[in-house]
């Protein structure tokens, strides 16, 4: 009997779903909308129905299903409860694993979406073959997912891997979204890069293509690729902050590899040297040889990682 | 049949040994000297003989022994090899677990001494009852041991929890022992506190009892307890660096509790508020409620933690 598992990436707009074989082969992939009416009470039944329909369609017996992994945009505690997920309309504590088990009759394992995506990258993405991984997501914010000996480090209140809030700069006048001042996220995220660019451009009148048009993480790294001297200085500062922050993470978990993902990582390989050379400068020698790679799974990281949750 | 386990804390001068029941009751405790002749080749046979003699003395059958845990001053990889332990005269890779198993016929599990001591504090010391713990050792250096879900986070090359080398100050002119500049260890260790004291005293001529006699971590905190204004300023700076560093650790592992140990912690409860109030200032909100406690086991942390290694 072929065996299967499901990976569910539950987002605020759509639910991405994948049917996998235990070796990581993606058999089928589909999406359903996230219906947030009635405090999000329809979401889990919709997902359950979609899974049961898929099993029907593929003639998969319940006994052949190892389980359903599900990543949600909120903290999931070790007992499988999701405390709150504002983006889903969930304001109360939800028995994520228990409710889904009741709806499907299947084994269910839940996790935070960022951690689950990291697990996906560690399993079949940029860190395939490694057991000790830090996945860094450079997007609107800076997120992280930490894998230790092949397992997610979720943290005691679900806030493991919140590396965007490592304090990296003293005396930063602007506040981070979290309320603190000087968090890594303020310099390493897409908006952080824009902040660094605007600050650099205001320092003098050095010519730069960045002075024409809108500034974004993409325009900065496009300019870097084109050899723009000011853009390269901005990338150096970005790399200094990020390298320093990741060096501090390495003092804690001593990973084999860092995987860089998120929207900013679409800039590609050009990013890595700026981060890595500063990482090497600040890191404790025992972690100096950690590798750096780009994320590979894109939007599929969540379905891979949630499927992996039930294979652990 | 009563069951037992052994905890061995292998140091450069003495080997501390404990006979435990599985619930953590310390049945017997003794020491033997660490004989480092011949490249440390006598150390493991000496320990094995001492364990076998103790079993004989107490009429403990081999079947009643769950195992022998052993903490060593060097990195231990997941296969139980110790790569190098200069303090023991071990310059080559040693099959720590395999050799000890061969010598005793018992199940053996090895670990790094700092991590093992942390496990001891998490099991029966300052963090008893908690599963997610960071033990901070403030001594000659700043060491750390990280416990996640009750297990040691050893790291991919054995350098997990090297929190003394978190980068905390830019533009530090003096070098840390590791070669970097601005590591937490340069401000949070016993010698770090002396550094902070000397720098503060050089700033002006404000009266302080610290201007008479030798400055040490002990004299600084004795002066703090006596209400010395300059000493209190030094403690504030120490707390700022340490609080900031531990806030960064919390962004990675999100622990329930920090346990402060090592020689500096002999100052007692006076330490905690200086560290904790700065921790709260810098930490990501989800980790704000982490507790702070002093280590309780002192020199016995290693035997407790190594015993716990074989109970996991």
Q: pLDDT of chain B along its 312 residues, tens only?
A: 899 999 999 998 999 999 999 999 999 999 999 999 999 999 999 999 999 999 999 999 999 999 999 999 888 888 899 988 888 989 889 999 999 999 999 999 999 888 999 999 999 999 999 999 999 999 989 999 999 999 999 999 888 999 999 999 999 999 999 999 999 999 999 999 999 999 999 999 999 999 998 999 999 999 999 999 999 999 999 999 999 999 999 999 999 999 999 999 999 999 999 999 999 999 999 999 999 999 999 999 999 999 999 997
**CB burial of residue A268 (10 Å; 0-12, 13-18, 19+):** exposed
| Half-sphere exposure in the Cβ direction for B201 (13 Å, CA) | 18
Lookup: tokens for B242:
């340490």
**A residues 227-286 lying closer than 8 A (beta carbon) to B:** 244, 247-249, 251-256, 282, 284-286
Percent of chain A with pLDDT over 90: 88
User: Does residue A312 register a pLDDT over 80?
Assistant: no
Q: Give the ipTM of the model, two decimals please.
A: 0.91
Indicate the angle between helix axes A113-124 and A301-309, nearest 10 degrees: 90
Q: Assess B287–A contact: CB distance below 8 Å, yes or no.
A: yes
Mean pLDDT of A271-277: 97
Can you tell me the distance from the alpha carbon of A163 to that of A146, in angstroms, rounded to the nearest whole number? 9
Q: How far does A126 lie from chain B, in Å, by closest CA?
A: 17
Q: What residues does B309 pair with on adjacent strands? A: none
Can you tell me the distance from the alpha carbon of A117 to that of A305, in angstroms, rounded to the nearest whole number? 5
Model confidence band, residue A155 (pLDDT cutoffs 50, 70, 90): very high
Model confidence band, residue A6 (pLDDT cutoffs 50, 70, 90): very high
User: Does residue A83 register a pLDDT over 90?
Assistant: no
Question: What residue in A sits closest to B131 (Cα-Cα)?
Answer: A156
Lookup: tokens for B279:
């921790």
**Per-residue pLDDT, B158:** 84
Can you tell me the distance from the alpha carbon of A159 to that of A169, in angstroms, rounded to the nearest whole number? 21
Three-state DSSP state, B137: strand
Contacts of B165 in chain A (CB under 8 A): 251, 284
Percent of chain A with pLDDT over 70: 100
**A residues 19-78 lying closer than 8 A (beta carbon) to B:** 75, 78
**Per-residue pLDDT, A190:** 94
Chain-chain contact of B156 with A244 (C-beta, under 8 angstroms): no
Chain-chain contact of B286 with A158 (C-beta, under 8 angstroms): yes
Model confidence band, residue A264 (pLDDT cutoffs 50, 70, 90): very high
Q: Assess A178–B contact: CB distance below 8 Å, yes or no.
A: yes
User: Does residue A157 register a pLDDT over 90?
Assistant: no
Model confidence band, residue A265 (pLDDT cutoffs 50, 70, 90): very high
Contacts (Cβ under 8 Å, ≥6 apart) of A53:
none
**B residues 117-146 lying closer than 8 A (beta carbon) to A:** 131-132, 144, 146
Q: Are B132 and B254 in contact (CB under 8 A)?
A: yes
The DSSP call for residue B176 is P
Q: How far does B134 lie from chain A, in Å, by closest CA?
A: 10
Of B290, B161, B1, residue with least CA distance to A255: B161
Mean pLDDT of A65-90: 90
Chain-chain contact of A255 with B287 (C-beta, under 8 angstroms): no
Q: Per residue in A245-260, pLDDT tens?
A: 999 999 999 999 999 9
Question: What residue in A sits closest to B244 (Cα-Cα)?
Answer: A167
Which of A168, A170, A183, A253 should one mutate to test binding to chain B, selecting the residue with the greatest count of B CBs within 10 A?
A253
Indicate the angle between helix axes B96-104 and B43-57, nearest 10 degrees: 40
**Per-residue pLDDT, A158:** 84
CA distances for B238 relative to A55, B143, B193, angstroms: 60, 16, 7
| Half-sphere exposure in the Cβ direction for B233 (13 Å, CA) | 14
CA distances for B271 relative to A215, A241, A275, B138, B145, angstroms: 47, 31, 36, 11, 19
Q: Per residue in A106-148, pLDDT tens?
A: 999 999 888 999 999 999 999 999 999 999 999 989 989 999 9
What is the full DSSP assignment across chain A? ---EEEEEEE-SSEEEEEEE-TTS-EEEEEEEE---HHHHTTHHHHHHHHHHHHHHHTT--GGGEEEEEEEESS-B-TTS-B--BGGGTB-S-B-HHHHHHHHHSS-EEEEEHHHHHHHHHHHHSTTTT-SSEEEEEESSSEEEEEEETTEE---TTS-TT-GGG-B--TT--SPPTTS-SSBTHHHHSHHHHHHHHHHHHHH-----GGGSS---HHHHHHHHHTT-HHHHHHHHHHHHHHHHHHHHHHHHH--SEEEEESGGGGGGGGHHHHHHHHHHHHS-GGGTT-EEEE---GGGHHHHHHHHHTT-
Can you tell me the distance from the alpha carbon of A135 to that of B26, in angstroms, rounded to the nearest whole number? 42
Lookup: tokens for A109:
């394992």
Lookup: tokens for B265:
């912690």
| Half-sphere exposure in the Cβ direction for B59 (13 Å, CA) | 2
Chain-chain contact of B132 with A146 (C-beta, under 8 angstroms): no
Neighbours of A173 (CB within 10 A): 6
> Which pairing describes strands B142-148 and A133-138: parallel, antiparallel, or unpaired?
unpaired
């Amino acid at each position: 009997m072929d065996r299967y598992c499901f990976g569910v990436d539950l987002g605020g707009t759509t639910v991405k779903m994948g049917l996998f074989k235990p070796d990581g082969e993606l058999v089928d992939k589909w999406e359903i909308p996230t219906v947030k009416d009635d405090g999000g009470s329809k979401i889990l039944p919709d997902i359950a129905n979609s899974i049961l329909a898929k099993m029907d369609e593929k003639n998969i017996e319940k006994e052949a299903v190892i389980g359903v992994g599900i990543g949600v945009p909120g903290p999931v505690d070790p007992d499988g409860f999701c405390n709150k997920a504002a983006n889903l309309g969930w304001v109360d504590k939800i028995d994520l694993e228990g409710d889904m088990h009741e709806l499907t009759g299947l084994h269910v394992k839940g996790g935070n979406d960022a951690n689950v995506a990291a697990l996906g990258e560690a399993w079949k993405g940029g860190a395939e073959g490694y057991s000790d991984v830090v996945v860094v997501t450079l997007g609107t914010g800076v997120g992280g997912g930490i894998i230790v000996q092949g397992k997610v480090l979720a943290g005691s209140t679900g806030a493991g891997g919140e590396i965007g809030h490592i304090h990296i700069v003293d005396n930063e006048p602007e506040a981070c979204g979290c309320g603190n001042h000087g968090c890594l996220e303020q310099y390493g995220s897409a908006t952080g890069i824009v902040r660094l660019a605007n600050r650099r451009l205001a320092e003098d009148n050095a010519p730069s293509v960045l002075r024409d048009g809108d500034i974004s993480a993409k325009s900065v790294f496009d300019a870097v690729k084109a050899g723009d001297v000011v853009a390269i200085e901005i990338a150096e500062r970005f790399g200094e902050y990020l390298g320093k922050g990741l060096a501090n993470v390495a003092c804690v978990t001593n990973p084999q590899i860092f995987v860089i993902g998120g929207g900013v990582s679409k800039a590609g390989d050009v990013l890595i040297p700026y981060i890595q050379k500063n990482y090497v400068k600040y890191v404790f020698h025992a972690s100096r040889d950690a590798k750096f790679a780009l994320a590979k799974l894109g939007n599929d990281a969540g379905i891979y990682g949630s499927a992996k949750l039930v294979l652990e």
